[in-house]
A and B are shown apart, each in its own frame.
Chain A
């Protein structure tokens, strides 16, 4: 079964800390997505990547295709970064390329 594993499940940080959330997957993928779900419930796509690294503001996403692993980094974390971060992948040969989701990492940033 194709699976997406995230770690840690829960993460508490102090404001200003550097944060890393990890995602691993089991077979070849065509793309990996990082999503953010705020306490209000809405889900927003942060990144879609298939190789290398992408940066947007204080957020950086990296992927290592050989190791089947991706990381989401948040620099200079802020309480407004508190949210659930979700990793999702599209597998080669998957049913119509649908997304397979991890269970999410709940991040809480304390002031």
Chain B
């Protein structure tokens, strides 16, 4: 089955700086890669996603890049703000027409004032 590795497990950055979180996946058939943000005590919420036919996607301060050959994808957050502090999860959904996400272990992003 699919295996998703996520690094780092904790990331501390100064407010206003950029943050980068990286994930690798094992199943070359995976075709959908979402990123979720989970604040303490709340449910995961999608912040951005990318499909396997696209190399990069951007939404304001957030961008995701996908390298299918190397089987890795990354989340980039620019101009970080205190409200960006949360746990971020990457995930991969394999092909075959069925849902069911394999998640990375999560990155605790800490924005230092």
Q: Answer whether A and B are interacting partners.
A: no
Interface residues, chain A, with chain B CB atoms under 8 Å away: none
